[in-house]
């Protein structure tokens, strides 16, 4: 690698923008990005201007984004992981690394690794273990793959918090998605309980009862926060939970609960008009 680390972002949403701002603030880093919104006739100008304002080079295509990159960071959605890997594979050269931080099943990450590996480039899976907003580039990320330790060292040198946990692909994603079953499931339960309590005009009584059992929690505030999070990120989280469903089904666990949580997350987002798609800004990864 040269003295200036060259990074490419595939997906320039919340995560990509946050990372880019903080990387570029450190100096000695060049960042290019590609997002399908760069091709949207109605939104391209604004989204490209946002990138330029941060100091990012907005690319006209994935090929242009990754051409000079040492590390390509994929920050899209779980459902787009394989599409992105297939798109990138013929564009990469030996020595380049794809750092895939999307929340996808271990099997999905292994398939993506095979696609990238066939192009003689390297693939490192990443698992983002906390919301990016409060942490920025210091958000804890687990990494897996033969090059995980090297990439962790490179990215930690520019302010990130990446921990290599395995030389094989899939372990980091399993850790992430097993956690997600708990976190996203709790979100769905709280939001549904609160909605039902409101419909029956028993919110105060239900929250008071919950406070007796869990006195450290501000239940009205938590319920409002969870509803907001699902409304904003539910489409992406639904895709993540469907990956979790695939993961547990692979080992013989009934995936019905994961699928129900996915449906609940999706309904919550649709009720607020959220959406997104592969390579879209609105679909950037967030735990």
- DSSP, collapsed to helix, strand or coil, labels residue 157 as coil
pTM for this model (two decimals): 0.87
Mean pLDDT, rounded, for 204-222: 98
DSSP notation for 182-213: HHHHHHHHHHHHHHHHHHTT-HHHHHHHHHHH
Residue 274 binned pLDDT confidence (cut-offs 50, 70, 90) = low
**Mean pLDDT over residues 218-242, rounded?**
94
Tell me which of 133 and 198 has the higher pLDDT: 198
In which order are the strands placed within the sheet that holds 161-166? 57-58, 29-34, 5-10, 71-74, 97-100, 122-128, 140-144, 161-166
CA angle, residues 50, 56, 61, in degrees to nearest 5? 95
Is the pLDDT score of 92 beyond 80?
A: yes
Express each pLDDT in 101-143 by its tens digit.
999 999 999 999 999 999 899 999 999 999 898 999 999 999 9
On the question of pLDDT at 275 being above 80, the answer is no
Residue 277 scores a pLDDT above 60: no
d(CA 248, CA 229): 25
What confidence score (pLDDT) does residue 272 get?
74
Q: Is the pLDDT of residue 283 over 60?
A: no
For residues 57-78, give the mean pLDDT: 96
Joined tokens for residue 22:
């903080």
| Residue-level pLDDT at 3 | 76
Mean pLDDT confidence for 43-52? 95
DSSP 27-66: SSEEEEEE-GGGG-TTTHHHHHHHHHHHT-EE-SSHHHHH
Q: What is the pLDDT of residues 257-270, one digit of tens each?
A: 999 999 999 999 99
Residue 50 has pLDDT above 60, yes or no: yes
Tens-place pLDDT, residues 147-192? 999 999 999 999 999 999 999 999 999 999 999 999 999 999 999 9
In the chain the domains, ranked by start, together with CATH numbers, are: 5-168 (3.40.50.720), 173-273 (1.10.1040.10)
């Amino acid at each position: 690698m040269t003295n200036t680390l060259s990074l490419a972002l595939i997906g320039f949403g919340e995560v990509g923008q946050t990372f880019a701002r903080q990387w570029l603030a450190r100096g000695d880093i060049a960042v290019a990005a590609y997002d399908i919104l760069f091709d949207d006739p109605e939104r391209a100008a604004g989204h490209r201007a946002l990138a330029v304002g941060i100091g990012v080079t907005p690319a006209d295509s994935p090929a242009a984004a990754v051409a000079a990159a040492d590390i390509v960071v994929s920050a899209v959605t779980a459902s787009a992981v394989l599409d992105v890997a297939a798109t990138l594979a013929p564009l990469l050269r030996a020595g380049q690394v794809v750092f895939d931080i999307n929340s996808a099943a271990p099997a999905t990450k292994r398939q993506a690794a095979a696609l990238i590996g066939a192009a003689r480039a390297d693939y490192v899976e990443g698992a983002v273990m906390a919301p990016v907003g409060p942490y920025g580039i210091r958000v804890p990320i687990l990494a897996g793959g033969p090059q995980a330790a090297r990439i962790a060292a490179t990215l930690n040198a520019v302010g990130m918090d990446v921990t290599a946990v395995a030389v094989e692909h899939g372990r980091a994603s399993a850790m992430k998605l097993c956690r997600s079953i708990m976190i996203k499931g709790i979100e769905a339960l709280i939001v549904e309980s609160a909605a039902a309590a409101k419909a029956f005009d028993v919110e105060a009584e239900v929250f008071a009862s919950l406070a007796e059992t869990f006195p450290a929690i501000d239940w009205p505030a938590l319920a409002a926060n969870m509803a907001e999070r699902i409304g904003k990120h539910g489409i992406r989280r639904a895709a993540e939970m469907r990956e979790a469903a695939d993961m547990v089904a692979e080992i013989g666990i009934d995936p019905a609960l994961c699928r129900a949580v996915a449906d609940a997350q999706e309904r919550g987002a649709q009720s607020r008009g959220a959406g997104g798609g592969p390579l879209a800004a609105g679909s950037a990864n967030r735990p």
